[in-house]
Structure 1
Amino acid sequence: MTVSPIRASTLADLAHGFLGREGGVSTGIHAGLNVGLGSDDDRAAIHENRRLAVEAVAPGTALVTLHQVHSAEAVTVTEPFPEDARPHADALVTDRPGLLLGILTADCVPVLFADAEAGVIGAAHAGWKGAIAGVTDATIAAMERLGASRSRIAAAIGPCIARASYEVDDGFFRRFAEQDPANERFFADGVRADRHQFDIEAYVAARLAEAGLERIEALGLDTYADERRFFSFRRATHRGEPGYGRQISLLALPS
C-alpha cells in the first residue's frame, strides 16, 4: 500500500501532507507508517517509515522533528537536529527551503501554518495541555519574528480526535471554563452527568481565529474512530494495548 498524504486546500501551493498509518512497513500494533521514535516499534521500521513519508511529500528535503512534551514552546529551525538532540518543544518554524517540518500525533491536533508570501512556515503539536497554554499563539509569534504577517498566515488542522470520541471529566471541563467561560461551547454533555465530550479541533480553530488568522481549514477527520487510516493513543489505551503508533504531518518551503 502506498503512502497517500492528505492535503489541505489552504496550503495547496506548498509541499505538505497529513499522513496516517497507511503505506508503512511496521507490523503488529504499530502496523503501517509508524514514525514515532518514542514508540517501542522496530527501529529500522521507524526509520524506513520516515524515509517513505519524506519521499511522499517532499523528496530531497531534510526531515526535522522534535521531542514533543505537550508544551507551548516553539523553536526556530535553521538546520536539521541530530536525532538524539531534538529540542524539547511542540512547535517549529523556519524560513529555510530544504527543511521538512514534521509534527507527530496520535489523537492530538497537528496544525500546519504558512505565509507563502514571506516564505515562512510552521508546524505545531496541540494536545490539550499545549492548546490551552497557547502553543498555536507561540507558533504564530515565532513566524512573525521571521517576517510573517498573521494577516497572511494560512493554517490547516489535520486529523485528530473528534468530540464524539473524546470524553473528559468535570475537572478537565472546569480547567477550560475557568480560563475563559466562552470555552464551555466546546463541550457537549456526556453519557454520565460528570462527563463531557470535548471538541479539541474546534477549540484550536477558535484559538487561531482569535489570534487574527483569517484562513483556517479543519479537515474534520477523527483519529480514534478510523482505525484503518490513523493511529490513536486513546483507542490503544481503551483496548489495553502495550503501545501505539504515531502519524506525521509535514510541510516544506519550495527549494
Structure 2
Amino acid sequence: MVEAPVPIRAAALDGVPHGFFGRANADGPCGVSTGEVAGLQVGFGAGDDPEAVAQNRRRVIAAVLPGADLAMPFQVHSPDVAVVTGPVEGDARPRVDALVTATPGLLIGVVTADCAPALLADREARVVAAAHAGWRGAKEGVLANTVEQMIALGARRGRIGAAIGPTIAQASYEVDAGFRDRFLEDDPANARFFQPGKPGHHQFDLPGFVAAQLENAGIGSVENLALDTYGDAARFYSYRRATHRGEAAYGRQGAFVGLPPESP
C-alpha cells in the first residue's frame, strides 16, 4: 500500500511549512512512480511518466502546504538565484539553483539526487528560500547569494535559519586530487572537508562544506540532518549509486518550503 508522504522536518525551521522527502517514507512506499525510479520521484528529468511526477508533486503539496501553488527552477549547477511571486512551470522556469519568495500560499522547491538541498527561512520577515547546492554551485556562492536575496526582501541575517537535507555523505563521495586542489586554491582551510581515500583520491564532505558556506553567510542557525542519499537505497535516490550500479535512470527527491496564506 502506498502511504501519504511524511515530510522530514528540521528544528531550525520550526513554525515554517517545509519538508525534505526521499523516494519512500522511513517505514514504506509513499509515491506512485515505478521501475528503476519507483517511489516519490519528483523530477521531470528522470525519464519518468510525467503524470506520475505530477501526482507525486501533488502529494508533496498536500503534505507540506495544502492548496499551495508550486514554483521550482530549471537547475543548472549555478550560483544564480531568482525571486518568485507565483507558480512557474515548463519553459517558464528560471534557469537558476535557488528560489526565494515572500509570497503567501506559494511553495518553492528543488530536486536533488546526491547534491545538498538547503531550505532557509526568516519567520518574522516571512521570507523563505530553497537552494540546490552541488559542489559547483556551493563553491561558486549559491548559498551566500540566496541569503543576500532573502535580505533584499526584508529578512535579517541573524534571524535566518537553514536546514540541509538528504545529501551524499563523506564516506560515499570519492573525488580525485585535482578536485581537492580546486577547493584549496579558493581557501587552504577547505582541506578540513577532505579525508584521505585510496591513492590519489579523497573523500569530500559536501554537507559539511555547505554548512560552512551558510555559517560564513552569518545566518542565525544551521542544521544538518545528516541523511546519506548514497547509503540508504530504500529511502533515497542517488545519482552516484545508480551510476555505480549501471542503472539506466536515477530519480530525484525534493525539498520544499513555503508560506501559509495570511489571515484575513
Verify the 8 A CA contact 2:110 2:256 in the aligned structure 1: yes
Distance 1:193 1:231 in 2: 28
Deviation at 1:85, TM superposition (A): 1.5
Which residue of 2 is the match for residue 50 of structure 1? 57
Unaligned runs of 5+ in 2: 25-29
Which residue of 2 is the match for residue 214 of structure 1? 220
Verify the 8 A CA contact 2:70 2:88 in the aligned structure 1: no
**Counterpart of 1:32 in 2: which secondary structure?**
coil
Which residue of 2 is the match for residue 25 of structure 1? 32
Deviation at 1:242, TM superposition (A): 1.0
Of 70, 90, 94, 1:87 maps to 94
Of 228, 241, 244, 1:235 maps to 241
Unaligned runs of 5+ in 1: none
Distance 1:151 1:92 in 2: 20
**Counterpart of 1:122 in 2: which secondary structure?**
strand
Distance 1:11 1:214 in 2: 11
Which residue of 2 is the match for residue 118 of structure 1? 125
TM-score for both structures, normalised by structure 2:
0.95
**Counterpart of 1:171 in 2: which secondary structure?**
helix
Larger mean Cα displacement after TM superposition, 1-10 or 179-188: 1-10
TM-score for both structures, normalised by structure 1:
0.98
Deviation at 1:254, TM superposition (A): 2.0
**Counterpart of 2:139 in 1: which secondary structure?**
helix
Which residue of 1 is the match for residue 66 of structure 2? 59
**Counterpart of 1:151 in 2: which secondary structure?**
helix
Letter in 1 for 2:16: L
Distance 2:73 2:219 in 1: 25
Distance 2:64 2:158 in 1: 27
Deviation sequence 1:150-203 (CA, Å, 0-9, x none): 11100001010000000000110001011100000000000x220000001010
Q: Which runs of 4+ in 1 moved over 4 A?
A: none
Distance 2:86 2:64 in 1: 19
Q: Number of residue pairs matched?
A: 254
Residue 138 (1) aligns with residue 145 (2): yes
Distance 2:241 2:199 in 1: 23
Distance 2:107 2:84 in 1: 10
Distance 1:233 1:75 in 2: 25
Letter in 2 for 1:231: Y
Which residue of 2 is the match for residue 15 of structure 1? 17
Verify the 8 A CA contact 2:118 2:165 in the aligned structure 1: yes
